[in-house]
Chains A and B, each alone.
Chain A
């Protein structure tokens, strides 16, 4: 009896809702710093704000213990040039990381300067960051003294960045020693350690609560942010948070372009909890957003992520040589020591592989040749990398239980046989609020961190920017009073949230999400024109006016999914407006306008911004490096930075 229909078959009744229903109850919470989203950035923001001596409330849709993309784990602490084994200067590395177009210079500089300190703080609170058990003695990259394990990633070649497939000579590393900027870590230990530290510091944690909207001073769009509303996704209870400063750390959106009705959980790279709520609420509050037109194909062959993280779609993922069905080695780089960190075949090598497949030179399917690796490297990849990365721990467990033994077995790879990802299957992440050197948005009182800054980010980026935003928000909260709330704004938001529970039939959240996703696929995907984009806006308006009023939810959980759909809808509208505003194509943004075919014309190399002013869309622009000199500005804004936290 572990499925709901077992109950139905037992006595004809579904199990009762297990939590008390409290739709009619309201709770008010007052705090100094409100953190919205308790993932990696959110937990770090809460910890650093609390360490700066202010009251903190942390609100999380799931349970902070394992929520977010980094909840299950992490095995790479990326871009840590300040670590003692690194051979490059942090500022030079930050500059290198922002050599591509449309980076987040502020976030990257913070990451490169502070993520090593963050890592040491993580160790203080119980995160495992060194091979203290001597499990991997003899592995390449292991430093016997510090017991740090350096990853081959970015050691010489940084193939994530187009055009940088050749080793780059850094001024700070003239002899081209290995860069050593990525550290392997035992990330399954991180999230529980972060939650424990939040509790120890007295952070008030609200798990299973979805934040739905920001409150602004006097209810005015564009005014200072003074709190937020939310509700429990188990009881339905309404919550009003009053704060002096808020940190938005809700990450991106992987649900805007895709819903596979029966396999929804694993058809994207993030769990369903990441639905663009952050940008939707920042937009409604009047914050200026940028890079919202950036959406990218998911690049998951079948749309099912396990083929990637099964070490299969990418058995080559790190150090695992790829062989064909007859055992012939493929010229596919493995982002490993042998390839100096290169991840993808260069276009001409890829061409050769494709030809080889077509002529039978390379027999399908391909395999990851685990047995062909040196013992210690195999152990590192299978046990440490896959064991700790994230959703991969259950892969190593369940495959081993089913008899897979990496010493003897080749793991199948799905390149070619699973086809390519459709260009219409896209993520919508990498855009977000415009920020300044305090990670403050254009609204007073509102800060951002992690993937919610306009960046793809990664785990250590989220941690370092969260920690930074937390201390800046705390400092601001110490200088300002609680703002004046508008009761009307709260009442309107309450009505918006509870509308779906007033109905018992109509359109449910899955149908609505699929409808929005289809609109985005048709009108805002691979090829864009003004006509298509405007049709997209009309289509979303039609959904808003005709189908949203029919949205229904039978319990608080489905109510959350329904309200998330409204975020998804708003997010879609923002993407369409931003896409209309960029009247040029861009390779790096994966943005192609048939009506403006010139790719990255110089006069369009700038950030396009969008925001609501009196509920009207206003567009604007910012120069590419609007943050100025990264090193100088970082230093000017952080004269009082104290480095690694000392327990007081």
Chain B
């Protein structure tokens, strides 16, 4: 699908999605904004909406934002592709990746 308008933007910092918000569950309370030690997020200008990920490159991947959210399922942790762990089923030997 072609986009309506194409902007000239620099390469975007990546990885840039340490967490994924579920806008149907998140009520924009901004608790996660407050507990983050490095201010990865800022509140959304639109009240009631999920925060904005502004500094993903500073994320410590400590997960306080997820653990502290009062609405289960509103925010989930998202490992960057190259950080995804492997494991193996002891019985079958099948290998899985997060």
Binding site for B on A (CB under 8 A): 1-9, 12, 15-18, 61-63, 65-68, 71-72, 188, 208, 233-234, 261-266, 270-273, 304-306, 310, 312, 327, 365, 367, 369, 371-372, 390-391, 393-395, 397-399, 401-404, 408-412, 557
Contacts and interface: CB of A to CB of B under 8 A. Distances in A.
Contacts of A327: 90
A188 B66 CA distance: 13
B26 to A, nearest CB: 9
A382 B57 CA distance: 29
Nearest to B94: A409
B91 interface: yes
Given A3-B52, A62-B37, A394-B61, A410 B88 contact: yes
B13 A394 contact: no
Contacts of B43: 18
Nearest to A62: B37
Of B5, B17, B77, chain A has the most CB atoms within 10 Å of the CB of B77
Contacts of B80: 263
A71 B52 contact: no
30 contacts: A1-B50, A3-B16, A3-B52, A4-B53, A8-B7, A15-B42, A61-B37, A66-B64, A71-B62, A208-B39, A262-B13, A264-B57, A265-B56, A266-B59, A266-B83, A271-B58, A271-B62, A272-B58, A272-B60, A306-B85, A391-B60, A394-B61, A394-B66, A395-B63, A398-B76, A399-B85, A399-B87, A401-B76, A404-B85, A404-B96
Contact of B98 (A4, A61, A273, A399): A399
B86 A412 contact: yes
B77 A8 contact: no
A402 B79 CA distance: 11
Given A3-B16, A394-B63, A265 B21 contact: no
Chain B: interface size category: 35 or more
Interface in B28-72: 34-39, 42-45, 49-64, 66-68
B12 interface: yes
B77 A398 contact: yes
Contacts of A391: 60-63
B35 A66 contact: yes
A273 B52 contact: no
Contacts of A67: 37
Contact of A3 (B17, B23, B45): B17
A409 B42 contact: no
A62 B36 contact: yes
A2 B61 contact: no
Nearest to A5: B12
Most chain A CB neighbours (cut-off 10 Å) among B52, B55, B87: B87
B24 interface: no
A272 B39 CA distance: 11
A619 to B, nearest CB: 36
B7 to A, nearest CB: 6
Given A1-B50, A394-B61, 8 more contacts: A12-B7, A63-B34, A265-B60, A265-B61, A271-B38, A306-B79, A391-B62, A402-B96
A402 B87 CA distance: 11
Contacts of B87: 367, 399, 404, 409-412
Contacts of B66: 394, 397
A18 B47 CA distance: 12
- Nearest first, the 8 A-B pairs at minimum CB distance are A394-B63, A62-B37, A391-B62, A271-B60, A412-B86, A265-B59, A402-B98, A66-B64
Contacts of A17: 42
Nearest to A17: B42
A404 B95 CA distance: 11
Contacts of A65: 34-35, 68
A18 B45 contact: yes
Nearest to B14: A262
